[in-house]
Structure 1
Amino acid sequence: MTWREPLERDGFTFLRNVFAPEAVAAALAEWEEITRRHADDGAVLTGESGPAYGARNLLDLWPGVVGLLRVEPLLGALLDVLGAHAGVVRVLYFDKPPGHSWALPWHKDYSIAVRAPGGPALFTKPTVKAGVPHVIAPQSVLDRALTVRIHLDDMTPDNGPLRVIPGSHRFYNQTNDEPRDPVTLECRAGDALLMRPLVTHASGHSKTDAGLHRRIVHLECAADATLPDGYEWKWYARLNDRGLGG
């Protein structure tokens, strides 16, 4: 498996050409209809005068989004890494619309969506995002998780591509990362990036005159349907089942 070695070594890998142009176009059309119907929902993030640049709670807004992961070779890769009980636990949407770009500094993805606060031992810093409780998860949970970023546009040096630190997924705290040169990722629409949550990553602004989107469906998957300390996932959609789980 040519994709598995870099995932284990570097914490990220690409599956190329997972979705044909027709499938990408269909996903974009479906998402545009979702945003039209939910334009006033606080989970759809828009600027004062610009288009949607992101959205939360896609498992509520667009339950069918799970179907994007139930195609080969993507489904087989996820089940191979996470096991037969793998499920989707949170889905986000990102865009850098022309004229309304944004950037993120170096960080790791620690936050998970839960039903309600549980015990205080392993999970910390409870917050609420778009009406959904979130907590910071420990490494024991995040090491059994995998993020899939499905690219609906080409990602190029012109539209604020993702930058990553190879191997940083082995360390919970960013300050402990080994000194490694960052890598700038590029891909085509229809490619899927598999990435461990603890990979240190960042992205910059799109070039002012690029006129490009950078639309991504960001799906967070976990190996286990249950969480320790009395917590429950807010969502858990089994990958090898139909519909949403509890």
Structure 2
Amino acid sequence: MEVQNTHKNAVSELGFSSIPGVYSNDEVDAIIQLITKTDTTRDTFRKSKELFAIRQFLKEIPNINELVFNENLQNIIRNYFGEDYFVVKSIYFDKPETSNWYVAYHQDLTISVDQKIEINDFGPWTVKQNQFAVQPPLSILENIFTVRIHLDDTDENNGALKVIEKSHAKGIYRPETIDWNTETEAICSVPKGGIMIMKPLLLHGSNRTTNHKKRRVIHIEFSNITLPEGLNWSERIN
């Protein structure tokens, strides 16, 4: 219980925490195998030399759910956040060994919804792969938490997330205004089979790889909020 509270407090205070050993090597390999067998020609799949990404991941590969939501992850969600949280977004990222993407510091400020409705404090709106996305009020963003499942060992040499500690508690925080005299940067190394829990308002980015190793991550966002005025989470899974 003490270890559990340590991670929960870290997410609350720092904006993130990493937990190793949530998946066995066999479980990770089974997830990768199922992804590899999937038809990648649909609109929600993006594939190039630099990146392979699957939006609406849990919907596009429904058989993956049983593997992803193993007993360990279910217990973590239940014990850390409560019984009433549900999935609101899922993405799979595969940055191959040859990819050398650099991701600048940013916050995750949009949610995926089923339609465009003009509602006060919701906006701006965008559309990607026939998916509506909108920036909601701050209270909704503050309620969300993200679980990043690492299918490879990830450290500072192959694009592990770098974050600004406690930045999730500062509202909308523009990267160009970061005061490096007062902020603390951390590198979030996560072993294969481990997870990182983070708040989407946490400023985060990643450096280019220097060791040319793969970094495959499943990104799942959770909330327990019902959206207003007939707006619905487009990817909701209970």
CA deviations on 1:17-38 (whole Å, 9 max, x unpaired) are 000000000000011112xx1x
Checking the alignment, whether the CA contact within 8 Å between 1:102 and 1:204 is kept in structure 2 is: yes
Checking the alignment, whether the CA contact within 8 Å between 1:66 and 1:88 is kept in structure 2 is: no
Distance 1:186 1:116 in 2: 37
Q: How do 1:109-128 residues align onto structure 2 when only pairs under 5 Å count?
A: 109-128=108-127
Query: Structure 1 residues 155 and 11, CA, compared in 2 at 3 Å: closer, same or farther?
Result: same
Checking the alignment, whether the CA contact within 8 Å between 1:122 and 1:229 is kept in structure 2 is: no
Runs (5+) with no aligned partner, structure 1: 239-246
Checking the alignment, whether the CA contact within 8 Å between 2:152 and 2:193 is kept in structure 1 is: yes
Q: Which residue of 2 aligns with 1:242?
A: none
Query: Structure 1 residues 59 and 140, CA, compared in 2 at 3 Å: closer, same or farther?
Result: same
Query: Structure 1 residues 80 and 229, CA, compared in 2 at 3 Å: closer, same or farther?
Result: farther
Q: CA offset at residue 68 of structure 1? A: 4.6
Counterpart residue identity of residue 3, structure 1: H
Are 2:27 and 1:26 aligned? no
Counterpart residue identity of residue 207, structure 2: G
Q: Which residue of 2 aligns with 1:230?
A: 230
Q: Which residue of 2 aligns with 1:186?
A: 189
Distance 1:177 1:46 in 2: 33
Checking the alignment, whether the CA contact within 8 Å between 1:96 and 1:206 is kept in structure 2 is: no
Q: How do 1:1-246 residues align onto structure 2 when only pairs under 5 Å count?
A: 1=4, 2-34=6-38, 37=39, 39-47=40-48, 50=49, 52-68=51-67, 70-175=69-174, 179-207=182-210, 210-224=211-225, 226-238=226-238
Query: Structure 1 residues 139 and 69, CA, compared in 2 at 3 Å: closer, same or farther?
Result: farther
State the SS of the aligned residue for 1:220. strand
Counterpart residue identity of residue 158, structure 1: N
Q: CA offset at residue 155 of structure 1? A: 0.3
Runs (5+) with no aligned partner, structure 2: none
Counterpart residue identity of residue 224, structure 2: A
Q: CA offset at residue 100 of structure 1? A: 2.1
Distance 2:230 2:178 in 1: 31
Distance 2:137 2:81 in 1: 17
Distance 2:55 2:142 in 1: 23
CA deviations on 1:205-229 (whole Å, 9 max, x unpaired) are 112xx231100000111123x2124
State the SS of the aligned residue for 1:124. coil
State the SS of the aligned residue for 2:95. coil
Q: TM-score, normalised by structure 2?
A: 0.90
Distance 1:68 1:174 in 2: 36
Larger CA deviation: 153-162 vs 94-103: 94-103
